[in-house]
């Protein structure tokens, strides 16, 4: 995906892209890189979700991009504002790894909980998930092409794959 405009999405960040621009985020360990795409309007969005729910937020100024339950509605709103329609939007996601060996504590299973939270919210909006590369114990970098709707996933351990 070279020669195209690159739109970077930082950690606990989200953004949209159109007209073939590529959304990119790095450093996905337990975080989830969630992409939304309207194939008709060619509007794409990406959120770098760090945590499953804003109910655990401790910051005085809530970062809505940080949490699955606030990032997804915000991303949908931004996409719809530039021509996407909810009934056409599709999702793909990557990340949600379990980066460290932990005991049985569910509170520390951030990666799997991030994936599950994203799935529940997408189901609420009736957004189909067309592809996923989640879990494992390794990091990922992802790029999403806003023209073709292709999610490119890179990892040191597993090379490059497209979904």
Contact in structure between 139 and 97 (CB atoms under 8 Å): yes
**31 catalytic residue (yes or no):** yes
List strand residue ranges (DSSP E) for the chain, in order. 6-8, 14-17, 22-28, 32-38, 43-49, 90-95, 129-134, 140-145, 151-155, 159-162
Contact in structure between 152 and 142 (CB atoms under 8 Å): yes
Among candidate residues 18, 21, 31, 132, the one labeled active-site is 31
On the CB side of 33, how many CA atoms lie within 13 Å of its CA? Answer: 29
Q: Please identify every residue annotated as catalytic.
A: 31
């Amino acid at each position: 995906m070279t020669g195209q405009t690159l739109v970077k999405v930082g950690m606990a960040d989200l953004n949209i892209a159109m007209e073939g621009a590529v959304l990119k985020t790095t450093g996905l360990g337990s975080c989830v890189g969630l992409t939304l795409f309207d194939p008709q309007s060619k509007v794409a969005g990406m959120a770098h979700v760090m945590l499953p729910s804003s109910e655990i937020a401790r910051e005085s100024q809530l970062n809505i991009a940080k949490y699955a339950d606030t990032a997804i509605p915000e991303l949908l709103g931004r996409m719809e504002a530039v021509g996407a329609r909810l009934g056409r939007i599709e999702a793909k996601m990557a990340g949600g790894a379990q980066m460290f060996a932990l005991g049985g504590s569910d509170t520390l299973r951030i990666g799997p909980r991030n994936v599950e939270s994203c799935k529940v919210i997408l189901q609420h909006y009736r957004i189909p998930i067309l592809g996923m590369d989640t879990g494992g114990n390794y990091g990922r970098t992802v790029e999403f092409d806003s023209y073709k709707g292709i999610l490119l996933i890179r990892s040191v351990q597993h090379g490059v794959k497209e979904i």
